[in-house]
Amino acid sequence: MRLKSRHLLGIESLTPEEIVLILDTAESFAEISRREIKKVPTLRGRTVVNLFMEPSTRTRTSFELAEKRLSADSLNFSASSSSLVKGETLIDTARNIEAMAPDFIVMRHQMSGAPHFLARYCRSSIINAGDGSHEHPTQALLDAYTIRQKKKAIAGLKVAIIGDILHSRVVRSNIFLLRKLGAEVILAGPPTLMPLEVARLGVKVTHSMAEALDGADVIMMLRIQMERQGKGYFPSVREYYNLFGLTEERVALAKRDAIIMHPGPINRGVEIESKVADGAYSVILDQVTNGVAVRMAVLYLLAGETGDADSAEERPGH
């Protein structure tokens, strides 16, 4: 079993087997994060450039931690400190970074497709850390890892994804992944935040919170992107909370053992009530922990194609 591509640009191009390989590999890495010395020498001598053209704390630190735990050398570029603010084009930035011969470029960009563009010009492995409102593959993988950890399997589960579907890159990656692994996905949100084409991805769409939550095994809340709300997608935050906020009463509509997820950062009292965010069924912090293991697995698997080496005799050179 191998990963077919040396890049991770999205979930759409992965096969179910490749997804399962990444999730299984992440389990080995989760064990390392529980050790006293949380570091292995696996990627010693490899260089990773974290190219974050859009603000991100959670994803960048998670990648950085994953890189450090694998002993890779990492270098951070952010939009404010890079030459992009001086008018350099993406291709020139890419060529300059490429000239430093990194092994990986982890890229966050506000434009959909930017990592795909980079992948055509670079010899390094490109990992998409979120491109516009397109995909965020490692987030979907860590969500799937968390669901599998709590629910044992993904096939057959009903997953309700609620909130700002329009601006979310997480939701696209999650739809691709959950559908590939056999889950039923239902989306809920205000009509203004629900892109029309999303129904074509094989999911149910509703504007009723009650319908989405009815019998759900997993409740995945999306962040209301306050920075993108200037265009009047809904009348007020208060009204949004009244219609789509996750409260204890609404959680009761889902299955008794439903888990509650959120990609973070959460807006308390907007998309989720504090009591729910901190409640017993919330796995929001597990998602953060699992993010490091999943990103370590992705880096490991992209560092070379995979193959099954077994006994000592089959290990080359051992």
DSSP labels for 104-120? EEEEEESSTTHHHHHHH
Q: Which stretch in 38-46, 104-112, 200-208, 250-258 sits in contact with other proteins by CB under 8 A?
A: 38-46
Regarding 309 and contact with other proteins (CB under 8 A), the answer is: yes
Q: At closest approach, how far in Å is the CB of 182 from other proteins?
A: 23
Q: Which of 172, 174, 100 is nearest to 131 (CA)?
A: 172
Q: Which span sits near other proteins by CB under 8 A: 36-44, 93-101, 251-259, 275-283?
A: 36-44
**Quick check: 28 binds other proteins (CB under 8 A)?**
yes
Query: Of 20 and 75, which has the nearer Cβ to other proteins?
Result: 20
Binders of other proteins among residues 42 to 101 (CB under 8 A) are 42-43, 45-46
CB of 290 to other proteins, least distance (A): 15
Among residue numbers 265 through 304, which ones bind other proteins (CB under 8 A)?
A: 297, 300-301, 303-304
Contact between 149 and other proteins by CB under 8 A: the answer reads: no
Q: Is 90 exposed, middle or buried (0-12, 13-18, 19+ CB in 10 A)?
A: middle
- Given 13, 16, 40, 288, the residue binding other proteins (CB under 8 A): 40
Q: How does 235-267 read in b/e, with b if 16+ C-beta sit within 10 Å?
A: eebeebbeebbbeeebbebbbeebbbbbbbebb
In the complex, minimum distance from the CB of residue 33 to other proteins, in angstroms, rounded to a whole number? 12
Shortest separation between residue 139's beta carbon and other proteins, angstroms: 22
231 near other proteins (CB under 8 A): no
Q: CB neighbours (10 Å) of residue 187? A: 27
Look at residue 20 and give its three-state secondary structure: helix
Region from 41-49, 190-198, 212-220, 241-249 binding other proteins, contact rule CB under 8 A: 41-49
Scored b (16 or more CB within 10 A) or e, 199-222 reads eebebebbeebeebbeebbbbbbb
In this structure, what is the dihedral angle of CA atoms 125, 127, 133, 139, given to the nearest 10 degrees?
160
- For other proteins, the binding residues (CB under 8 A) are 1-2, 21, 24-25, 27-29, 31-32, 35-37, 39-43, 45-46, 297, 300-301, 303-313, 315-318
